[in-house]
């Protein structure tokens, strides 16, 4: 079964609400109209209703049944300001909160925090920081997770893998890399991806010596401590992690080598380049990034996203509530 057909089955009937802060963006409007028509996910658009409706009419999309919230005219705004100040624990005054919460990403994130909606999808018209910053300040990461990370589901035909971190952390240390690996396995579980995790490097089992190699080896040990049941191995070169014949030669005693489905890159440069090579040269569909490790689901779109991307990421975000 297709990934999204599977996810739709899992979330159908749960009335999961996803807020889309960039409510007047044509791509967002088109995706929201499709979500509303299917009835699998309940979209909530932020922005001035008259502007959204006018743009939707120009695009020939029916948004008449979609909930729209204008942060400038929200009946529970004072309650939101109070909750925000309490959450920030003195880092922002009420006056500052009143200004900050007029930003659609801050406003939308507070809707998630206050359980008015189940998740947030943004980034079609904003840089990653504008989506991630409010999430880290308000929703925050899960206990035991020091930071969020961005993973991609890589899919082609019946093949499905998970790559991380490809979006957030430039050069994670061993502890952070281990946390990324454990959370990536949790994320992959939702998408029916086998829990075999490869910690990638340019070295396999000590074939090279450097601080970079030591970091990956140490991260593997920490990940074992965090989740003793997790099938994880490293450090492994990509060919040793992916190709059974190479694994027999380079890591013959490994249960993961040659069979890995989850690939953890040692730093952002490699991860970002790696997923784009698989996407552009390998013909894989790259679905994400999925922000993993958060207390509640928040997803960051690429600014190059189209309406179909928004639609799919909204379904993915709703499904993350089941983790």
- Compute and round to an integer the Cα radius of gyration of the chain: 21
> In sequence order, what are the residues at sequence separation of 6 or more whose Cβ sits closer than 8 angstroms to the Cβ of residue 225?
178
Q: How confident is the prediction for the chain on average, in pLDDT?
A: 94
Q: With cut-offs at 50, 70 and 90, classify the pLDDT of residue 1.
A: low
CA distance 100 to 125: 18
> In sequence order, what are the residues at sequence separation of 6 or more whose Cβ sits closer than 8 angstroms to the Cβ of residue 86?
none
Q: What is the mean pLDDT of residues 10-17?
A: 94
CA distance 208 to 242: 19
Sign of torsion over alpha carbons 254, 257, 263, 268: positive
Q: Which of 45, 43, 39 is nearest to 8 (CA)?
A: 39
Percent of the chain at pLDDT > 90 equals 84
CA distance 183 to 112: 21
C-alpha angle 274-280-284 in degrees, rounded to nearest 5: 80
pLDDT tens track for 258-309: 999 999 999 999 999 999 999 999 999 988 888 888 999 999 887 888 999 8
H or E segment to which residue 71 belongs: none
Residue 6 has pLDDT above 90, yes or no: no
pLDDT tens track for 39-77: 999 999 999 999 999 999 999 999 999 999 999 999 999
CA distance 178 to 189: 17
Inter-helix orientation angle 104-113/77-88, to 10° = 80
Q: SS3 of 155, please? A: strand
Q: Could you give all domains of the chain from N- to C-terminal order, each with its CATH number? A: 3-140+296-322 (3.40.50.10950), 149-280 (3.40.50.10750)
Task: Quote the pTM value.
Answer: 0.85
Distances in whole angstroms, Cα of residue 119 to Cα of each of 18, 94, 127: 5, 25, 18
β 149-156/159-164 pair status:
antiparallel
């Amino acid at each position: 079964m297709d990934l999204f057909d599977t996810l739709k089955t899992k979330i159908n009937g749960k009335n999961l609400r996803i807020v889309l802060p960039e409510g007047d963006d044509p791509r967002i409007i088109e995706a929201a109209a499709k979500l509303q028509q299917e009835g699998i996910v309940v979209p909530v658009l932020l922005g001035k209703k008259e502007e959204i409706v006018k743009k939707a009419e120009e695009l020939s999309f029916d948004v008449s049944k979609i909930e729209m919230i204008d942060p400038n005219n929200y009946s529970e705004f004072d309650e939101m300001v109070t909750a925000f100040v309490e959450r920030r624990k003195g880092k922002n005054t009420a006056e500052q909160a009143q200004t900050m919460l007029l930003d659609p990403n801050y406003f939308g994130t507070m809707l998630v925090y206050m359980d008015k909606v189940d998740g947030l999808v943004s980034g079609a018209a904003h840089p990653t920081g504008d989506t991630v910053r409010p999430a880290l300040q308000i929703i925050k990461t899960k206990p035991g997770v020091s930071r969020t990370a961005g993973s991609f589901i890589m899919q082609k035909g019946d093949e499905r893998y998970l790559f991380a971190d490809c979006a957030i952390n430039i050069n994670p240390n061993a502890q952070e890399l281990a946390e990324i690996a454990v959370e990536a396995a949790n994320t992959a579980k939702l998408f029916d991806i086998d829990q075999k995790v490869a910690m990638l490097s340019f070295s396999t089992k000590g074939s090279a010596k450097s601080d970079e190699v030591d970091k990956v080896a140490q991260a593997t040990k920490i990940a074992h401590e965090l989740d003793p049941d997790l099938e994880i191995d490293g450090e492994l070169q990509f060919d040793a992690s992916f190709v059974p014949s190479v694994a027999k030669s380079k890591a013959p005693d490994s249960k993961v080598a040659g069979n890995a489905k989850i690939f953890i890159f040692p730093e952002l440069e490699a991860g970002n380049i790696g997923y784009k090579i698989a996407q552009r040269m390998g013909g894989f569909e790259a679905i994400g990034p999925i922000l993993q490790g958060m207390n509640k689901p928040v997803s960051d779109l690429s600014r190059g996203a189209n309406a179909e991307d928004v639609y799919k990421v909204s379904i993915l975000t709703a499904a993350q509530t089941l983790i």
